[in-house]
Amino acid sequence: MGKEDEKLRKAVETRRIPIVTLDNKWHKIWNMIEKPSEVSKDEARMNDLLRKQGRLTTESKDIKKLKKKLMDEIVTLMDEDSSASGKVDDNKRLIEECNQKLDKYEEELSELPDQIMEINRDIMFATMEQCYHALHTNEKDIDELAKWIDNIRIEIKKNVIRKQEKEIQNAVMYSYMNDIFGADVVDLFDMSYNPLEKMIKLKEIKAEQQKANEAKNKTE
């Protein structure tokens, strides 16, 4: 897309965009156009990171609950039982393990938002690029179809006129034949329809259309 490509990338990079893969409308876009393999790969990576973020957040909460429980037990044991030093030491060791895990999880959780946003920007840019291409392709097809429709309308109008001219020609010719040769002789041609009847029906239809148009004009 050239210059527009640079503008789009800058616009995406400077904005804090919601996670597009969590938006149902984003998924509906790919029901209309083909999703590139790169976007599918980034989507899979995004889902892995979001699952990891959710898991680390949940486990951190559970560890904090366990840590509080262990600390409360230490306070209770020290107040009630001075001989429970072994249990206190075990709790202190477990608390230290909790602290180590929490430090590790917090470090990973602090890195995840930037990783998620980076992939999100790539997905957003690729989505805009594909939509941009699809929109322009559709516009081109729309213009071509519009031209085709206009040409067909012209052809239809021409063919309607040709049809009416031939119906009039048949009606006049049939009338002349009837006057010259007589009805008995004309009937020998065994024509599948009577052009005069066709002509009469055509006039009736035109008369009805004219009445409808006049009634419409009066109401307007």
pLDDT band at 189 (very low <50, low <70, confident <90, very high): low
pLDDT per residue over 36-90, tens digit each? 999 999 999 999 999 999 999 999 999 999 999 988 888 887 766 656 667 778 8
Tokens standing for 89? 């030491």
Considering only residues 158 and 74, tell me which one the structure prediction assigns the higher pLDDT: 158
The pTM score is: 0.64
User: How high is the pLDDT of residue 173?
Assistant: 80
The arithmetic mean of pLDDT across residues 174-181, rounded, is 78
Domain borders along the chain are 3-11+19-143, 156-219
